[in-house]
């Protein structure tokens, strides 16, 4: 098969395969299985087997195996490598044109992907889940996924989704989604502490009491004002007459803590996510905690794609379980 040809190889059908005995080898195009024809057409369009496999949501090895069988069936080399570029051979171009003509008589299958809606707490999406979601998209370019960021309790109450990952206070998942779900699963307990960038605070000068915070700028994510368990931190911010920045963006709050010598309230795991940050755990006597909860919509929980997404989330938290140890 042409996949193994050296860089710069030209059309090799003349010596790779003998002449087909049929009146016209292109006549065999009508007998190609619809799925295999789709594999060929998508590979031709993408010019890359890996990208074609992602688009089709199949393994690259399976795609190339099916195309090798197609070449053997037609006794023609359909692809050429020119350096690192994949292109159609002369016969590949002929087959491509033939399949386009046949498409007027036989529509190649387009498998519609179900839309899966994921509602997730903004901080969890940014810090914990984002990388694994990106990896999912690398593997499957045909997925239909809508991601809804939950930045408030009101947003959680109003959302409708297939999978919901939110942060609650206390030992119960309430308040949670308002639609019917399976039994919510607690994934982790998150402890929160003021944090500062290491480069802006030497060990000997790090604040060890609330009074020593007077010389530091505080940065406050407005969403945290709603969280009862963050009362100690919220009261401190409200008492400030100067030296405080309040904003709506979690990502910007994190960036300001990292780069602007500010102190911000962040989950204890954040130093695993960003080693430039360090916790200041001794400032408050009261613990500030939240619980991560996962629930699946009762009406769509049987869908394979929904189950796979929920399992991806569970796996992500299991892999990072040491992040959440106090």
Which residue did the predictor score with more confidence, 175 or 236?
Answer: 236
Intrachain domains 2-102 and 190-289 with the same fold: no
* Class of the CATH domain delimited by 2-102: mainly alpha
Q: Quick one: pLDDT at residue 41?
A: 87
CA–CA distance, 65 with 216 (Å, rounded to integer): 62
Indicate the range of 105-109, 214-218, 256-260, 293-297 predicted with least confidence: 105-109
Peptide bond just before 175 cis, omega within 30 deg: yes
CA–CA distance, 24 with 185 (Å, rounded to integer): 62
Give the pLDDT band (50/70/90) at residue 111.
low
**117-140 per-position pLDDT tens digit:** 999 999 999 999 999 998 888 777
pTM of the model: 0.69
- Beta strands 163-168; 115-121: pairing state: parallel
The CATH number that domain 190-289 falls under is: 3.40.190.10
Q: Quick one: pLDDT at residue 4?
A: 40
**83-104 per-position pLDDT tens digit:** 667 888 888 888 888 888 776 5
The CATH number that domain 115-189+290-324 falls under is: 3.40.190.10
**65-80 per-position pLDDT tens digit:** 999 999 888 888 998 8
CA–CA distance, 62 with 279 (Å, rounded to integer): 48
CA-CA distances (angstroms) from residue 154 to 21, 151, 176, 223, 267? 71, 8, 10, 11, 22
Q: Where are the domains of the chain?
A: 2-102, 115-189+290-324, 190-289
Q: Are the beta carbons of 1 and 77 closer than 8 angstroms?
A: yes
| pLDDT surpasses 80 at 176 | yes
Q: Are the beta carbons of 324 and 269 closer than 8 angstroms?
A: yes
């Amino acid at each position: 098969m042409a996949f193994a040809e050296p860089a710069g190889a030209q059309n090799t059908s003349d010596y790779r395969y003998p002449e087909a005995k049929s009146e016209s080898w292109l006549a065999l195009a009508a007998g190609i299985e619809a799925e295999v024809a789709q594999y060929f057409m998508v590979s031709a369009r993408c010019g890359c087997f890996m990208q074609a496999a992602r688009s089709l949501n199949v393994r690259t090895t399976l795609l190339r195996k099916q195309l090798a069988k197609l070449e053997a069936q037609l006794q023609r080399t359909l692809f050429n490598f020119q350096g690192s570029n994949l292109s159609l051979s002369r016969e590949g171009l002929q087959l491509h044109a033939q399949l386009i003509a046949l498409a007027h008589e036989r529509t190649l299958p387009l498998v519609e992907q179900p839309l899966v809606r994921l509602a997730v707490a903004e901080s969890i999406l940014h810090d914990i889940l984002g990388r694994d979601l990106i990896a999912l998209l690398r593997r499957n370019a045909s997925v239909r996924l809508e991601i809804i960021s939950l930045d408030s309790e009101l947003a959680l109450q109003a959302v409708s989704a297939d999978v919901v990952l939110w942060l609650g206070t206390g030992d119960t998942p309430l308040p949670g989604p308002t639609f019917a779900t399976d039994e919510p699963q607690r994934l982790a307990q998150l402890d929160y502490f003021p944090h500062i960038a290491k480069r802006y605070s030497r060990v000997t000068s790090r604040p060890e009491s609330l009074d020593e915070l007077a010389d530091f700028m505080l940065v406050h994510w407005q969403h945290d004002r709603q969280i009862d368990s963050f009362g100690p931190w919220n009261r401190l911010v409200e008492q400030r007459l100067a030296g405080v920045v309040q904003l709506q963006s979690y990502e910007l709050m994190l960036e300001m803590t990292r780069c602007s010598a500010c102190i911000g309230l962040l989950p204890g795991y954040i130093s695993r996510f960003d080693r430039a940050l360090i916790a200041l755990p001794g400032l408050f006597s009261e613990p500030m905690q939240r619980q991560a909860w996962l629930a699946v919509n009762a009406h769509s929980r049987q869908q394979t794609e929904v189950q796979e997404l929920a399992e991806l989330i569970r796996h992500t938290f299991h892999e990072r379980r040491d992040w959440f140890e106090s």
